[in-house]
Structure 1
Amino acid sequence: MDPRSEVLLRQVDYLQGPLLLAGLPADELLGQLAQAHGWSWHAGQQQWLEQHYPGRCSFATTPPAMTWQSAVLFLPKARDLADYLLDCLAASLPHGGQLLVVGEKRGGIERIGKRLLAYGQPRKLDSARHCQLWLAEITQAPAMPVLDDLAEPFTLDIDGAPLQVISLPGVFSHGRLDRGTALLLEHLHLLPAGHLLDFGCGAGILGAFLKRRYPDSRVTLLDVDAFALASSRLTLAANNLQAELIAGDGIHAAPRELAAIISNPPFHLGVHTHYQASETLLREARQHLRPGGELRLVANSFLRYPPLIESHLGPCQTLAEADGFRIYRACRP
């Protein structure tokens, strides 16, 4: 079981009655709390929870419209996302309702006391497993935040025309164009015609660009995060573009017979570093590409991706290198 869940269960007396668990991990916590309901924005965790506890967890960017006595937030790393989630939960609770926050010490939980002052008097309930658990009883609730009001739009000049990007809290490179994506955008010419996939779409920059440059191609955007998909949806709408969006935890959720997979693949999750999604993409891209289909991606120069690409897909070409990033290209034979 996740150590945060273990710390939470040490204080089970605070977890009675209708309870909302926000950002809960994929573990047995729901099975220990009969009146609890989950709220997840991670497609992989949601899939696991739905398989084990059908109907007891919602996948969304807003909390379930139900009545709660208390709520628990598993604190995310991104502060802007944490602020939005805290306001959502506090607004969902009645006066005197209990808002609990649990998180790892290196994930910023030690700062949460000051943040909880906005809702009531905070106190630390527990500290164990390198985690802390905090509680505030709601004495002053905020209005329910409107997610779209927190968007940070910005404009890119690409191919001599503006591309509007709508970035939401918690989405990768919130409110700005990251250097890796900027480099990849310069090297997306001469893609094969057909179905194009933006893997790990984030705010939808690559997907929107692909649909605009290759208007006759079918374009799909895939991400594990509900906030990224919501952001991509807004970006597409802002540019009057149509594309398919898929919530999925990795390349296995992608369509087959793709003409090209384009990606600035993620390798960070929370306070830990993870390469699994990116490495799985490189190992399994062949299964999702048609013969002659192409993988084109950007990656940090220190990541040893070429040997992995060549062992599972084919010869790997380096198209460009700048600012600590490289653009790789490989085709399925």
Structure 2
Amino acid sequence: MDPRSEVLLRQAELFQGPLLLAGLAADDLLGELPQAHGWSWHAGDHAQLNARFSGRCHYGTEAGPAEFASAVLFLPKSRELTDYLLACLAAQLPGGLLYLVGEKRAGIERAAKQLSSYGRARKLDSARHCQLWQVRVEHCPAKPDLNSLAQRYELPLADGPLTVMSLPGVFSHGRLDVGSALLLQHLDNLPSGHLLDFGCGAGVLGAVLKRRYPHCQVSMLDVDAFAIASSRLTLAANGLEAQVLAGDGINAAPSGLSLILSNPPFHQGVHTHYQACEQLLRQARLHLASKGELRLVANSFLRYPPLIEEHLGPCQTLAQDKGFSIYRAVKN
């Protein structure tokens, strides 16, 4: 059981009515709270919850139409995303109770100050290195428009500027990260066919692929609903069309790909996870066509070349700069 869920169950008498659990972990909490409904923006967590508690969890960027008497937000990493999620929940809870639960190292005490926009917040519990806060929604906000919160910026590229639309909570929100900037310099001589941007984030790499290789089929895949929404906004802002897919890891990718391009994710919440990238390296060949190519950027200290060569083929280092390396391998 996730420690945040354990803290909620210490106060289980507060959560017996219709309740929305926003950003909940993929654990047994829904089983312990039979009137609760889950809202997840992580495709993997949602799939696990839906398999065990069918119809009791939805995936997306909005709280959904379900009616609830109170709501709990599991604190996300991003402060901007926390602002949006609290406003979404508070807008549907005039006079109702809104709870915030999170780990101390994730900044729960700082985040609890954001509750003051809606009423007087109070701390209910502190255990398992977590805290639980409550506020009665006395100042009910209007329902926020997510698209209006997108940060728009322009990338000056050789073939013209690219407009990027970044939503709260998306990796490298509002700016181009160093790894993607380096990878953008090494997108020449790509194979034709079906191209995949794995871990697409705000859609920078996928949009560039579609613009430079307009006759190729381009798919974009991410686990996060806010990244999916950002990628669709980025494509629309540049007049481009591509397939945008929600899924957890490379297992959700199409088969017969000519190219997998990635700046792979390695953070989940406040924790560091390399599982998604390592799974990609081990299973890329299952999704690549004959002579299909993997091209990715990663921190240079990560020992990915031996893993690539074990599961795919000889690994070529195309560039190294600012602590990042560009790796290329062709399915043998």
Interval containing the TM-score (normalised by the shorter chain): over 0.9
1:270 maps onto 2:269 in alignment: yes
Name the structure 2 match of 1:319. 318
Name the structure 2 match of 1:90. 90
Q: What SS does the corresponding residue of 2:175 show, helix, strand or coil?
A: coil
Q: Which amino acid aligns with 1:24?
A: L
Q: Deviations along 1:100-147, whole A, 9 cap, x unmatched?
A: 011000001011332111111111111111111000111111111100
Q: Which amino acid aligns with 1:134?
A: W
Q: Does the aligned pair in 1 maintain the 2:100–2:112 contact within 8 Å?
A: no
Name the structure 2 match of 1:25. 25
Q: What SS does the corresponding residue of 1:161 show, helix, strand or coil?
A: coil
Name the structure 1 match of 2:238. 239
Q: What SS does the corresponding residue of 1:158 show, helix, strand or coil?
A: coil
Alpha-carbon distance between aligned partners in 2 of 1:60 and 1:317, rounded to the nearest angstrom: 38
Q: Deviations along 1:172-209, whole A, 9 cap, x unmatched?
A: 00000111000000001001110000000000000000
Q: Does the aligned pair in 1 maintain the 2:200–2:222 contact within 8 Å?
A: yes
Q: Does the aligned pair in 2 maintain the 1:180–1:299 contact within 8 Å?
A: yes
Q: What SS does the corresponding residue of 1:181 show, helix, strand or coil?
A: helix
Name the structure 1 match of 2:187. 188
Alpha-carbon distance between aligned partners in 1 of 2:307 and 2:51, rounded to the nearest angstrom: 32
Name the structure 2 match of 1:41. 41
Percentage of identical aligned residues? 67
Offset, 1:159: 2.2
Name the structure 2 match of 1:62. 62
TM-score by length of 1: 0.99
- Unaligned residue ranges in structure 2 (runs of 5+): none
Q: What SS does the corresponding residue of 1:188 show, helix, strand or coil?
A: coil
Q: Which amino acid aligns with 2:63?
A: P
Q: Does the aligned pair in 2 maintain the 1:69–1:94 contact within 8 Å?
A: no
**For this pair of structures, how many residues does the alignment match?**
332
Offset, 1:323: 1.0
The runs of 4+ residues in structure 1 deviating greater than 4 Å are none
Q: Does the aligned pair in 2 maintain the 1:300–1:326 contact within 8 Å?
A: yes
Name the structure 2 match of 1:165. 164
- Of residues 76-85 and 110-119 in structure 1, the stretch that sits farther from structure 2 once superposed is 110-119
Alpha-carbon distance between aligned partners in 1 of 2:158 and 2:31, rounded to the nearest angstrom: 53
Q: Which amino acid aligns with 1:30?
A: L
Q: What SS does the corresponding residue of 1:245 show, helix, strand or coil?
A: strand
Pairwise CA RMSD: 0.7
Alpha-carbon distance between aligned partners in 2 of 1:243 and 1:147, rounded to the nearest angstrom: 22
- Unaligned residue ranges in structure 1 (runs of 5+): none
Offset, 1:280: 0.3
Offset, 1:268: 1.0
Q: Which amino acid aligns with 1:160?
A: D
Q: Which amino acid aligns with 1:99?
A: L
